[in-house]
Amino acid sequence: MDLFFLGTGAGMPAKLRNVTSIALKLLEERGAIWLFDCGEATQHQILHTSIKPRRIEKIFITHLHGDHLYGLPGLLSSRSFQGGESEVTIYGPKGIKEYIHLSLSISQSYLKYPINVIEIEEGIIFEDDQFIVEAGLLDHGIPSYGYRVVEKDKPGTLLAEKLKAAGVKPGPIFKKIKNGERVVLEDGRVIEPEEFLGPPQRGRIVTILGDTRVCENALKLAKNADILVHEATFSKGEEHLAFKYFHSTTKQAAEIALQADCKKLCLTHISSRYERNAWQELVQEAAETFPNTLIAEDFKEIHIPSK
């Protein structure tokens, strides 16, 4: 599981930072990529990476501001020509359906694969046997969502030698125990799975927030996250501006990470007012409050290790 930053700038594209898009690479987990936001030229950014658009399974749009959205019709259209045949599910606030429908139909773009567009509300928006995704409304002038991706815990590894020593022969029973099922042997003995499994592998939590002021829901969505991706449009000391424009500062992002007991904080949505030589200073401002902070850069990849 890795986070790959395709665009990390605020508002409009800049030379060093394109507008927002983040790929959550779940290649080992499910052979898929989940995209969070799709600012203009996201598909151009992808050309410089090993990401295959046909692998994109889900796209989560945080909010409908252009710097998070204008790359979507182009990306969807090109995916048809890049061997994309599998369905793509797109989640986003109310209006996303109309935006996609209108931009594709007016330009007479026909996709060679089905899309499923879901206008979300707060709560659990997706769940399968591997992941749960929860959405919460933030504070940004227009509806802006944060997404909390929770990987489900996996049962521990099977202690096969211990089972053999207990006289259980390998076979379908092993699989049942591995899946956490209680098994009654032919001789009447009961095998409790937890006695023959290693410690469960804890799932990871990744929280990616849309643009926002400091708010209660940011804290809730970020609780115990292995990584929190939080916007930091302004530097410390500019809280009044952040409030006025519905954004956050570096320090405010760090306070959320601290209060939520996150493991790591990644600042993104960085204004082009801050040139490259100021980036480390932005990290420093946050690190005073939350030491394990880093700043996103276009094409930066962050590995999220299993626990």
Q: Which of 67, 153, 187, 226 is catalytic?
A: 67
Binding-site sequence positions for Zn(2+): 63, 65, 67-68, 140, 211, 269
> Could you tell me which of 7, 44, 2, 45 has the C-alpha nearest to residue 25?
2
**3-class SS letters over the chain:** CEEEEEECECCCCCCCCCECEEEEEEHHHHCEEEEECCCCCHHHHHHCCCCCHHHEEEEECCCCCHHHCCCHHHHHHHHHHCCCCCCEEEEECCCHHHHHHHHHHHCCCCCCCCEEEEECCCEEEEECCCEEEEEEECCCCCCCEEEEEEECCECCCECHHHHHHCCCCCCHHHHHHHCCCCEECCCCCEECHHHHECCCECCCEEEEECCCCCCHHHHHHHCCCCEEEEECCECCCCHHHHHHCCCCEHHHHHHHHHHCCCCCEEEECECCCCCHHHHHHHHHHHHCCCCCEEECCCCCEEECCCC
Binding-site sequence positions: 63, 65, 67-68, 140, 211, 269
- Which CB sits closer to Zn ion, 67 or 255? 67
- Which CB sits closer to Zn ion, 67 or 238? 67
Window 63-82: contact mask with Zn ion (x via CB under 5 A): --x-x---------------
Question: Minimum CB separation from Zn ion for residue 62, in Å?
Answer: 8
Chain centroid offset of residue 126 CA: 13
- Which CB sits closer to Zn ion, 55 or 65? 65
- Which CB sits closer to Zn ion, 3 or 197? 3
- Which CB sits closer to Zn ion, 65 or 251? 65
Question: Minimum CB separation from Zn ion for residue 272, in Å?
Answer: 12
Residue 175 tokens, joined? 């699989």
Question: Minimum CB separation from Zn ion for residue 10, in Å?
Answer: 5
Touching Zn ion, residues 181-220 (CB under 5 A): 211
Touching Zn ion, residues 31-70 (CB under 5 A): 65, 67
Question: Minimum CB separation from Zn ion for residue 67, in Å?
Answer: 4
Question: Minimum CB separation from Zn ion for residue 41, in Å?
Answer: 15
Cβ-in-10-Å burial (0-12, 13-18, 19+) of 190 comes to: exposed
**Binding footprint of Zn ion, residue count (CB under 5 A):** 3
- Which CB sits closer to Zn ion, 196 or 233? 233
Window 225-254: contact mask with Zn ion (x via CB under 5 A): ------------------------------
Q: Does the annotation count 153 as an active-site position? A: no
Question: Minimum CB separation from Zn ion for residue 144, in Å?
Answer: 6
Strand partners, 147: 135, 208
Cβ-in-10-Å burial (0-12, 13-18, 19+) of 261 comes to: exposed
Among all residues, which ones are annotated catalytic?
A: 67
Would you tell me which residues interact with Zn ion (CB under 5 A)?
65, 67, 211
